[in-house]
Structure 1
Amino acid sequence: MKIEQIYTGCLAQGAYYIESNGEVAIIDPLRETQQYVDKANNENAKIKYIFETHFHADFVSGHVDLAKKTDAKIIFGPRAETTYNIHSAKDNEEFKLGNVTIKVLHTPGHTLESSTFLLIDENEKEHAIFSGDTLFLGDVGRPDLAIKSNLTKEDLAGMLFDSLRNKIMTLPDDVIVYPAHGAGSACGKNLSKETVGVLGDQKKTNYALRSDMTREEFIEEVLDGITPPPQYFAKNAMMNKSGYDTFETVLKKGDTALNPEAFENIANQEDALVLDVRHEKEFIKAHIPNSIFIGIHGGFAPWVGALITDLKQPILLIAPKGKEQETVTRLSRVGYDNTLGYLEGGIDAWEAAGKDIETIASISVDEFSKHINNKNVSILDVRKDGEYKSERLEGEYVQHFALDYINNNMNAIDKNKTYYIHCAGGYRSVIAASILKARGFNDLIDVAGGFAAIKNTDLPTTNFVCPSTLK
């Protein structure tokens, strides 16, 4: 028996390859599926099953493509309904894979069809669980993502409590836990950086598995602090239910080199969004007018999903040389399948063709300090709510809304004012500046280094102190 976790850091997502006696099961595959086919072929094995722990909301899974390539059967848990052929398993149904068995444990709560797959080894020992978004290391899945359900998040949290107590916590402590996500995923709020654990450790350390926890306490604690899901979550879940274009088709269309004239013509004719994925320092120095910056080196796909509201939006790319295919791939992982090509030669080719460029003003924290001390200024903090509440610049001139919700806050700022924009380190502030600039806000100044640099100055900041710690 062989188990391999295939972890994708930019999505904080784990897919799994399980092989026994020449038969393979893939659990929660990525959108680009040829890697699994090649791996099985190299090991003279055949992919027999594709198991999906639930309808994923934070990425588009590769199950539909992989089934077409391999004739493998797609297995979901109970209550799963799709527009393509699947096997919706019964609770406790077992599937033979070579010399091992995979048993379906229906564990609703994160979603209604959510299931955990229990691997029983050659010696009939309960060896591991592939827990999807039911159980993470350090956390459990958020219970507010059920599609078209009349159930409340409190109802789903109650279901999750029952699933964990009746299906998961009854398993032996030495069972290995293979979750669908690690730290960085928006599917939970307290995920560990570790991606593999042991159930006994989770029973001791995971707040949601406390043995003395009541159902009411569980519901309250699991729901506490959950922010609204990103707008693309429901759309990705529907793609996973309804199917999608093949990854190869999407990649071929997007991985198309365009000269500056063709690039500009397509941008105008298709009303395409020009997405610049270079480093923020490069974008600041020179970019195409009205282009949007979301750097591929940061949390790229989740930020695209949070900020570009239409999955079918035509997109043209400005990418670092050699990163064009990767960018199209990472866009497709969150359902953005309408990339039309990239600018061959990048911004240098654009300038050489005599096309207009724009810049964004950016200043050091030392310069920023002088501006604050010399006059009343307007500062826009685009960090997350929790970051802002924890520590921030003092002053009535500081305005805050999280970058995640910038599209909903355009009316909260004044086009006639000059804004100094900062985040934690400089990535998100340039994203915000690019979006605002494209919407007609012209007096924008980026604070290089963000709040991390601001804290090293003499500027006054406010630290939040939890009331329970006050004497």
Structure 2
Amino acid sequence: MTIKQFEYKPLSHYSYAVLSEGKIALIDPERNPQQYYDFAKANNATIVAVIETHPHADFVSSHLEIHRETGATIYNSEKLGADYPHEYFDEGNTIHLGNTTLTAMNTPGHSPDSITIVATDGKETALLTGDTLFIGDVGRPDLREKAGNMQAKREELAEMMFETMQNKFSGLPDESVVFPAHGAGSLCGKNLSEAASSTLGEERKYNWAFKENSKEKFIETILDGQPFIPHYFGFNVDTNKAGAADLQTSIENIPFTENTKAEGLTVDVRAEADFKKGHLKGSINIQAASETAKFETWLGSIIQPNEAFTLVIDQKDNKNDILQRVAKIGYEKQVKEVITLSATNLESSEPLDLNHFKNNPEHYTIVDIRNQSEIEDGKIFENALAHPLNELRETAKKIPTDKPIVVHCAGGYRSAAGSSILENELKGVLIYDLSEAVKGFI
């Protein structure tokens, strides 16, 4: 048995290929299936199964596309209520893959339909735990109150997770290798480790969810301090339940125009420095300038799933890559057009006089756009007003406009988006982005 882990860093997502005797089962594949095809070809193997541990909230899966292109059978829990061709994979069901046996365990808690896959080959055991068991944490239980086939209140799911952690893993050996669907940086949990895998023995020692707890204390702990829920999460659950359209078909016919302008909601993905030099009035700077930037998360946290928008990129050659990133969260159908900008009729952003700000902070309204959990851990500026970025388009009008406004986050990436939102929402007010200079105040 060979298990290949694939990582998509911007969403802190891990997907897997289990290979045995020339046959492959894919677990929780991301939107672009090409890497899995390449792996199969390199190993002279055939993809025969795709297993969804649950309908994911934070990314769109390619399970249906892989089924259509390879004939692989899709497996998931009956509780998922999938709208595409599939076979049930619930407690005790098995898939034989060469010398490897894949066995399903129903492990509700993150969602009512979550499963864990137990892969065994001789004395080897691996656990593909989806969003149930992470390294150092467990999946959050508050994402299925408004989406999916089976909806459940967070308290109900928290209780399910307690029962799962108390009972489901008890008969498995300490040497079992744990392979989760997410690592640190994911919004599907709150204290995920940087480690990409672990053993069940290590988790039993160090993961809080395996500690002896009353049900009441466990529920209190798991519900406390969870991150915000991005706008797109429920939309992705429903998209994955139905099965997404093929990736390339979805993006190849989106119009593209060079050296032009746009009206309406506009997302500019260029680097902050380029945006500030010249951008379209009213555009929002959600940067995709690096391969690891959390572009997808913030696109889906700032823009609603039903909002059409124009996408501004730096050059034509980057169109396909950017659209693939938009499609990771299923937003490609909302893109009206992709454009590059002409050099005329652009607005620039005013640079902050950092020395004046340091010496006269009372002359500014300071807006803290970090997440609520970050703000609760401690303010960087005592008099800053809390307006988390995921809510800023809705709360901007509540910000006083009698002084120039300085926007800050924790490192500079988010404040580029936040300051561009306020430039659009608060007309006639000087908006400054503290950007990376915030690090000098921490």
User: Which position in structure 2 is the counterpart of 1:464?
Assistant: none
Judged with a 3 Å threshold, the aligned counterparts in structure 2 of structure 1 residues 423 and 314 are, in CA distance, closer, same or farther, namely: closer
Q: Is the 8 A contact 2:189 2:227 kept in 1?
A: no
1:220 paired to 2:215 = no
User: Which position in structure 2 is the counterpart of 1:258?
Assistant: 257
Matches within 5 A, 1:302-317: 302-311=297-306, 313-317=308-312
User: Which position in structure 1 is the counterpart of 2:287?
Assistant: 295
Question: SS where residue 7 of structure 2 aligns?
Answer: strand
Question: SS where residue 173 of structure 1 aligns?
Answer: coil
Judged with a 3 Å threshold, the aligned counterparts in structure 2 of structure 1 residues 322 and 333 are, in CA distance, closer, same or farther, namely: same
Distance of 2:282 and 2:248 partners within structure 1: 30
How far 1:326 moved relative to its partner?
1.8
Q: Is the 8 A contact 2:393 2:425 kept in 1?
A: no
Gaps of 5+ in 1: 456-471
**Number of residue pairs the alignment of both structures matches:** 434
Partner AA of 1:162 in structure 2: E
Partner AA of 1:70 in structure 2: T
Distance of 2:324 and 2:44 partners within structure 1: 27
Distance of 2:247 and 2:86 partners within structure 1: 20
Query: Which residue among 376, 382, 389 is the counterpart of 1:389?
Result: 376
Q: How well do the aligned residues superpose, as a CA RMSD in angstroms?
A: 1.9
1:269-312 C-alpha deviation (Å, 9 max, x unpaired): xx4x3221121122112112221101113211000010001355
User: Which position in structure 2 is the counterpart of 1:453?
Assistant: 440
Question: SS where residue 205 of structure 2 aligns?
Answer: helix
Name the TM-score, length of structure 1 as normaliser. Answer: 0.87
Matches within 5 A, 1:273-422: 273-296=265-288, 297=290, 298-311=293-306, 313-319=308-314, 322-338=317-333, 339-343=335-339, 346-347=340-341, 350-351=342-343, 355-363=344-352, 365-372=354-361, 376-396=363-383, 398-415=384-401, 417-422=403-408
User: Which position in structure 2 is the counterpart of 1:463?
Assistant: none
Larger deviation, residues 286-295 vs 53-62: 286-295
Distance of 1:169 and 1:78 partners within structure 2: 24
Question: SS where residue 229 of structure 1 aligns?
Answer: coil
Q: Is the 8 A contact 2:23 2:48 kept in 1?
A: yes
1:425-450 C-alpha deviation (Å, 9 max, x unpaired): 22211101111222243421122424
Q: Is the 8 A contact 1:80 1:88 kept in 2?
A: no
Q: Percent of aligned positions with the same letter in both sequences?
A: 34
How far 1:48 moved relative to its partner?
0.5
How far 1:18 moved relative to its partner?
1.2
Distance of 1:132 and 1:150 partners within structure 2: 18
Please say which structure displays the higher CA radius of gyration. Answer: 1
Question: SS where residue 249 of structure 1 aligns?
Answer: helix
How far 1:25 moved relative to its partner?
0.5
Q: Is the 8 A contact 1:142 1:223 kept in 2?
A: yes
Partner AA of 2:338 in structure 1: Y
User: Which position in structure 2 is the counterpart of 1:104?
Assistant: 104
1:156 paired to 2:151 = no
Matches within 5 A, 1:163-178: 163-178=164-179
User: Which position in structure 2 is the counterpart of 1:431?
Assistant: 417
Distance of 2:420 and 2:133 partners within structure 1: 38
Distance of 2:19 and 2:306 partners within structure 1: 35
Judged with a 3 Å threshold, the aligned counterparts in structure 2 of structure 1 residues 453 and 113 are, in CA distance, closer, same or farther, namely: same
Question: SS where residue 30 of structure 2 aligns?
Answer: coil
Q: Is the 8 A contact 2:63 2:243 kept in 1?
A: no
User: Which position in structure 2 is the counterpart of 1:185?
Assistant: 186
How far 1:150 moved relative to its partner?
5.6
1:329-351 C-alpha deviation (Å, 9 max, x unpaired): 111011111334433xx44xx10
Question: SS where residue 409 of structure 1 aligns?
Answer: helix
User: Which position in structure 2 is the counterpart of 1:459?
Assistant: none
Q: Is the 8 A contact 1:274 1:318 kept in 2?
A: no
How far 1:393 moved relative to its partner?
4.5
Distance of 1:376 and 1:336 partners within structure 2: 40
Distance of 1:405 and 1:238 partners within structure 2: 22
Question: SS where residue 361 of structure 1 aligns?
Answer: coil
Judged with a 3 Å threshold, the aligned counterparts in structure 2 of structure 1 residues 448 and 44 are, in CA distance, closer, same or farther, namely: closer
User: Which position in structure 1 is the counterpart of 2:141?
Assistant: 143
Gaps of 5+ in 2: none
Q: Is the 8 A contact 2:227 2:373 kept in 1?
A: no
Question: SS where residue 379 of structure 2 aligns?
Answer: strand
